[in-house]
Structure 1
Amino acid sequence: MSQARRSVVSVINEAPASPTPPVAARRIVQRTHHGDTFDDPYEWLRDKDDPDVIAHLEAENAYTTARTAHLEGLRGRIFEEIKGRTQETDLSVPVRMGSWWYYGRTVEGKQYGIHCRAPLASEDDWTPPELTADVPVPGEQVLLDGNVEAEGHEFFSLGTFEVSKDGTLLLYGVDVAGDERYTLRLREIASGRELDDVIEGTFAGASLSPDGRNVVYTTVDDAWRPDTVWLHEIGTPTDHDVKLFHEPDDHFWVGADFTRSDRYLTIGAGSSITSEEWLLDADYLRGEPRLVWPRVEGVEYGSEHAVIDGEDVLFVLHNGPAATGEQALDFELVRVSASDPTGERTVVIPHESGRRLLGVSTFRDWGVVGYRRDGLTRLGLLGYATGAVDELTFDEPLYDVGTAGNPEWAPPLLRIGYGSFVTPGTVYDYELASGERLLRKQQPVLGGYDPADYAQERVWATADDGTKVPISLVYKTSFGGVGDAPRPVHLYGYGSYEHSIDPAFSIARLSALDRGVVFAVAHVRGGGEMGRAWYENGKTLTKKNTFTDFVACARHLVDIGITTPDRMVAEGGSAGGLLMGAVANLAPHLFGGILAVVPFVDALTSILDPSLPLTVIEWDEWGDPLHDPEVYAYMKSYTPYENVQDAAYPPILAVTSLNDTRVLYVEPAKWVARLREVEVDAILKCEMSAGHGGVSGRYNAWRERAFELAWLLDRLGVAD
């Protein structure tokens, strides 16, 4: 053991009031693949039906409570700060659908939202009513009160909420365990009567058919893969439901939704790298699905229906061979006939390297295209006649923009959501005829928040291979500019699945910024910030780029004087938790603490077991270590649990949930047990009634975040 390690242990051992951490029993389970045998002492923790496992998790929670008892006051203050800055009784901007305005309410003291609607003033009414919390809304109807539905349950999540086109029926799906298995129910809105139709064990995102007579839903297989699309005729027994589509390939999962035009039901099957779609006429759902394009490994596509000059067409966004013959790595948009999708293609937006096309939404008279350029999201209006794209522009150097709440087929307005690190979430309606941007609402931030008191900027680190990696920064200017003197830094990262961490405002984050903390996001490879190549160079056999990029970003923040290692805490969740475990092994000296939320830290064990949720689907992201010895060796060289070393790690807080079906609780439980073997100051907090997204209910979520932030601020040396 190193002298540095001994000194840390000595300090811990000399603290008489320090509670004793739980010690998990070592029960060796051998895992042998490709001639390599791994003795796993903590695999027994996987069985959550074992009373010893539950007892161990409860002991971990008790230890964490004792270790963080000194932060109780700070947690309370942070919670009150979040609560005090939040307008607890509030309403969302109404969205028009049919003859109604739909909106949500939150009420002070209530955990969950209340879903409401109010009638239009007239059929020509496209201006959403300006709602005030303390003023009754004429004709308001409460469709679903989450607080009522959650009564008697420790956890509550709404996975489907949809009203029929004629406005008479509500379809909703509820999960009360956190395992993302939803029970679908139907409610007659006028009377409030629950129909007899109850569909158990569905996946999120069911839909009502345009005629309101059927429900389309998906179910999952034993590995939690959505594999089957079903049709339920309302008023009939569920054992009469019709199987519309089944995907036998374990690499693919399925989903279904109706086009905005109500012309088709689109059924999609996709893996991480390949997709395929079928169309069903919405007025004959028991017909035979028609294939759009046959699947080709490595080609992803998605289609949207439109009617142009009286012809049904599909706009197809794809990354297959472009019109120029090159691979459309950053995607190309083409138009095809809906009656002959594999026929002639008309290029609408050609492939352009560095401009990653993200999606297209079609309306009766125009379309809107989302794309990413220079690390930022963009929106452009698509003219059907010319194919021209008119980009909407914004003044801030860092921001995020996208469409939000546009269910109607022929609206004169486009609803847009906008925000940045310093600008609270803002809702605009863009008027197509005039080009005017109409401000509908900005997220209220109480307590005198002024965005001018904060600054956001981007700096660039250089990775080991010379790649420039962007880092976004946000901070309060009253503490000085970044680099003037070392500041505490909260460095966040993710870097998987082409998921981008875009600029977004956070009320909870203000509690750190107002204590002088700089919040930084390392936009590492494996994410999608800089285009598809950015993602491709941070997955499978290039996954280590994600980890070394993050280390390079941390080192850069130190080198340019923004912070010092003892004043920097790293955070990541889920696949970002894998990143945390990897960088803890790679560069423990660079951080004063590591916060790992639902961390994927036993990656190799999980990806080797095809019976576990989503494993086979994940092979396109991480590689297939079960059948490929090169992938096995590569993953074994970085998976955090198997690479813990005898080194001076910073303190680590791991947060997990017992009912998480995406990253099982056992991964951080094993990791913490292994870290303790080399005397790392690691603590585990396991929610016993929650899923991958943590606890349910906004006040519970605020308390959970206050717990994490209090620990983080304590590690940064800025606890009150």
Structure 2
Amino acid sequence: MKNFHARALTGVAAIALLSACSEPADTRTTQTEATGEISTETSNMNLIARAQSITPPSAAQRPVTIEQLGRTRTDEYAWLRDDNWQEVMRDPSVLNPEIRAHLEAENAYYEEVMAPTAELQETIFQEIRGRILEDDSSVPDRDGDFEYYSRFRQGGQYPIYARRPIDPATGEAGEEQILLDGDAAAEGIDYLDFGNVDHSPDHRWLAYGVDIRGSEYYEIRIRDLETGEDVATLTDESTGNFTWANDSETLFWVWRDANGRSKQVWRQGRGEAEGVMIFDEADDGFFVNVGRTEGDSYIAIATSGHTTSEVHLIDANSPASDAMLVSARETDVEYSLTETGDGFFILTNLDGAVDFQIMRAPLDAPQRENWQTVVEHRPGTLITGLMGFRDWMVRVERENALPRIVIRNLSSGEEHNIDFAEEAYSLGVDAGYEFATDEMRFSYESPSTPEETYDYNMATRERVLRKRQEIPSGHDPEDYVVRRIMAPAHDGEMIPVTVLYHRDTPIDGSAPLMLYGYGSYGITIPAAFRVTPLSLVDRGMVYAIAHIRGGQARGYEWYLDGKLGLKMNTFRDFVSAGEALAAEGFTSRGNIVAYGGSAGGLLVGAAINMQPDLFVGAIAAVPFVDVINTMSDPTLPLTPPEWPEWGNPIEDEEAYDTIAEYSPYDNVAAIDYPHVLATAGLTDPRVTYWEPAKWAARLRATRSDDGLTLMRTNMGAGHGGASGRFDSLRETAENWAFALMTVGLADTEADPSE
């Protein structure tokens, strides 16, 4: 859910920048049996052979020669990038008609190829939907005399934000008050996404961000909770990020410029027609966010690049006061602040603390000269985030790809862990609204265990189960096996790989396997419970996640070893993971479907260039595949901010040559490739639509075999695809049907024993 309150885990894990795209989202829940059948006509024919008989579209080649740093490259499909792309983000109808015609031809070809799997897609969609409690709701969070939560109605696509009053004498909850109805807000429009949704400290007003195009430009609207009416729209150029001051009259919100970058913080009164710009980030390589500290003492303006951060604080009780700089930015030094009753705790990599250390400073004097070490740096144990209370400090650590929660008593300094037993699992923590409390909330899940939400008393160490994810169609974790293997890399490192399969699936090399990976920006893919892979696993596929370099599964060095000049390690790790899974009998070479999105799509594209015979299929969702051209265009939203991740090929010859070695678009060759599906969103500001469009066109024209190259563009959405919770599942069902088709399981029931 989108939290009402902008208070959550802070630190390294919270710095994921705009381009960060983790495992493709699904609506959480699990297993059921297949309920539908594809037609007799379809099941009796070879779907791949039929698809190969259909003539695909052919994009015109109009070569453009680019000279850069004494190097020359040719881009024959550069014309697919609309010169008017910034306006297309806001209004898709202005797209160049010739480009639109090509994208629509690709969509028509995709639909014709995939038509025989229509019933399979519907079956998978219904399976996944059947694992979802449609009228699900979050565990309420108490804030003063109310408890706040979100829920869905039966059949609803979008969340409802609500609250109930709490009787101060009895503690009982009263009648529900609906604050914001997503389904009602979505009537008559094709796309809807909420940014922050947050009530004012006095509970009178609700502010919320809303994007209706998928371009990630959000309006910020104010609603009077006494009347239920919207009374103001502050801007339509926000990132969707804002916070209230303690006076319940003043908001601080973040402005997005014409190139899609978060650049400024504005202060604006609820009833004011215009705001005041109070912070302007001059460096195009930095992004800006705003929020309140845990004890509501300060408004925090956090600006950061990939490896550098800076925080300014404003007295939340005096919103017009000047901002206080905590520590001036220093290249490759990161820090974040967490408020407790004992002052600020600072999570930082200062002084070479690669896996981060924790320092402390007074609440009224948080500047760098006052920082004192509390938890020293321990190589190999990455501190991923902090959470603060009046009497407690909570940290989350990761070691060997497994997280743990550590609780610190601020009075005594005593610490204890919350322990878990499974071989692979995922944890989440949430501070809620209350600061002066002994209660914290955490969630636990694994690839086979649905999410469990607990309230944990940090003083008594008692845990109370508040919610167990309900699977309407039924789910037995004992039907599934979760394994963690360590795959040897090309240089002797060991790569953690999480494996999920049905207990009846033979592990003798005969099973097809989907291998998912990401491997960029330090983002670590958790070993979490997800409903969507079960439709593959129930049909006899193995599902694996490769925790490769470029993420932080094995510490911050794991990230550093997969970026800039060491980026090839990411792609080699993914290939090594696939080879290890085949060697250990989970699958066999040529029977693996590679899957990844955004930077994970780059991973897929690079891997199939490097080792195409390892894979039978590849799904690259909104893939970042045109790396040299994108990183050489400083007008694009993410280019300057991402030079610290990939390198700057405009000025740096070494960076150019490194990117040229792996950029999928630039390394397409006349070789045999696996079957490929690429997806795009027309209004996507993170990975622009033309990257996958150009890649698909070049791949189809160059590959030496007759394998499939499919391209599907959502003409009314951005990076995340369709916005409704069920509409997005249809896109997943299409991807899964493609994967099953490539491995020969498109006409089988969801029973791995068959």
Q: TM-score range by the shorter chain?
A: over 0.9
What do the CA deviations read for 1:380-431 (whole angstroms, capped 9, x no partner)? Answer: 1111123333111112121111212512111231111211101111110002
Is the counterpart of residue 649 in structure 1 residue 680 in structure 2? Answer: no
Runs of 4 or more consecutive aligned structure 1 residues displaced over 3 Å after TM superposition? 11-17
Whether contact under 8 Å (2:220, 2:240) holds in the other structure is no
> 1:486 and 1:492 mapped to 2: Cα distance?
19
Deviations 1:114-133 (A, max 9, x none): 111111132684xxx8xxxx
1:485 shift after superposition: 4.3
* Aligned mates of 2:541, 2:340 — CA distance in 1: 49
Counterpart of 1:362 in structure 2 is 388
Contact between 2:387 and 2:431, CA under 8 Å: does it hold in 1? Answer: no
Q: Aligned residue for 1:4?
A: none
2: distance between equivalents of 1:278 and 1:149?
Answer: 35
Distance in 2 of aligned mates of 1:524 and 1:408:
37
The root-mean-square deviation of aligned C-alpha atoms, in Å, is 1.7
Q: Is the 8 A contact 2:291 2:299 kept in 1?
A: yes
Q: How big is the shift at 1:513?
A: 1.2
2:354 alignment counterpart: 329
TM, length-normalised to structure 2: 0.89
Deviates more, 1:107-116 or 1:539-548: 107-116
Query: Which secondary structure does the structure 2 equivalent of 1:194 belong to?
Result: strand
Inter-partner Cα distance in structure 2 for 1:169 and 1:466: 57
**Mapping of residues 62-211 of structure 1, within 5 Å:** 62-122=108-168, 125=171, 138-211=174-247
AA matched with 1:213: E
Unaligned runs of 5+ in 1: 1-10, 130-136, 322-326
Q: What is the identity percentage for the equivalent residue pairs of Structure 1 and Structure 2?
A: 39
Instruction: State the SS of the aligned residue for 2:737.
Output: helix
CA contact (8 A) 1:582 1:640 kept: yes
Name the structure 1 match of 2:543.
519
In 2, are the aligned partners of 1:476 and 1:516 still within 8 Å (CA)? yes
Hey, what's the Cα distance between the residues in 2 that align with 1:262 and 1:17? 61
Partners of 2:673 and 2:130 lie apart in 1 by 36
The answer (yes or no) to whether the contact 2:479–2:502 under 8 Å persists in 1 is yes
Query: What corresponds to 2:253 in structure 1?
Result: 217
* 2:729 alignment partner, one of 689, 693, 702: 702
Match of 1:435 in 2: 461
2:560 is the counterpart of 1:530: no
Separation in 1 of the partners of 2:370 and 2:269?
Answer: 37
Q: How does 1:600-619 map to 2 (within 5 A)?
A: 600-619=624-643
Contact 1:349 1:387 in 2 (8 A): no
Instruction: Report how many aligned residue pairs link the two structures.
Output: 687
Match of 2:669, SS? coil
**TM norm structure 1:** 0.93
Q: What's the offset of the Cα at 1:16?
A: 9.2
- Contact 1:445–1:507 (CA under 8 A) maintained in structure 2: no
Compute the displacement of 1:12 (Å).
Answer: 11
Distance 2:175 2:653 in 1: 65
The one-letter code sitting in structure 1 at the alignment partner of 2:360 is: R
With 439-448 and 648-657 compared, the bigger mean Cα shift is at: 439-448
Distance 1:575 1:226 in 2: 20
Partners of 2:375 and 2:525 in 1: CA distance: 26
CA contact (8 A) 1:18 1:67 kept: no
* Correspondent of 2:581 among 554, 557, 560: 557
Q: Which amino acid aligns with 2:58?
A: V
2:327 to 293, 296, 313: 293
Equivalence for 1:625: 649
Aligned partners of 2:114 and 2:357: how far apart in 1? 52
* CA distance in structure 2 between the aligned counterparts of 1:386 and 1:540, rounded to whole angstroms: 43
Counterpart residue identity of residue 128, structure 2: I
Q: Which amino acid in 2 is paired with 1:200?
A: D
State the 1:13 CA deviation.
Answer: 12
The Cα of 1:17 is off from its aligned counterpart by 7.9
Instruction: Say whether the 8 Å CA contact 2:219–2:233 is kept in structure 1.
Output: no
Provide the secondary structure at the position in 2 that maps to 1:57.
Answer: helix
Instruction: Kindly indicate whether the alpha-carbon contact (under 8 Å) linking 1:399 and 1:419 is maintained by their aligned counterparts in 2.
Output: yes
Q: Distance in 2 between matches of 1:265 and 1:392?
A: 31
2-structure distance, mates of 1:615, 1:38: 19
Q: Which residue of 1 aligns with 2:602?
A: 578
CA contact (8 A) 1:378 1:402 kept: no
Amino acid at match of 2:350: G
How many angstroms does 1:565 deviate by?
2.4
User: Matched residues in 2 for 1:148 and 1:198: separation?
Assistant: 21
Q: Does 1:247 align with 2:274?
A: no
- Which of 414, 429, 449 is equivalent to 1:388? 414
**Aligned position for 1:324:** none
Q: Deviations over 1:363-388 (max 9, x none)?
A: 11111111111211211111112333
CA offsets, 1:178-203, max 9 Å, x none? 00000011011111122134321101
Matched with 1:5 is none
| Structure 2: distance between partners of 1:304 and 1:64 | 49
Which structure would you say has the larger RCO, counting Cα contacts within 8 Å and 6 or more residues apart? 2
Correspondences of 1:194-593 after superposition (within 5 Å): 194-238=230-274, 241-308=275-342, 313-321=343-351, 327-340=352-365, 341-404=367-430, 406-480=432-506, 482=507, 484-593=508-617
Give the counterpart letter for 2:302 in structure 1: G
* Residue in 1 that maps onto 2:697: 673
Whole-angstrom distance in 2 between the partners of 1:502 and 1:686: 28
Distance of 2:731 and 2:49 partners within structure 1:
31
**8 Å Cα contact 2:337/2:344 also seen in 1:** yes
Distance 1:235 1:543, change over 3 A: same
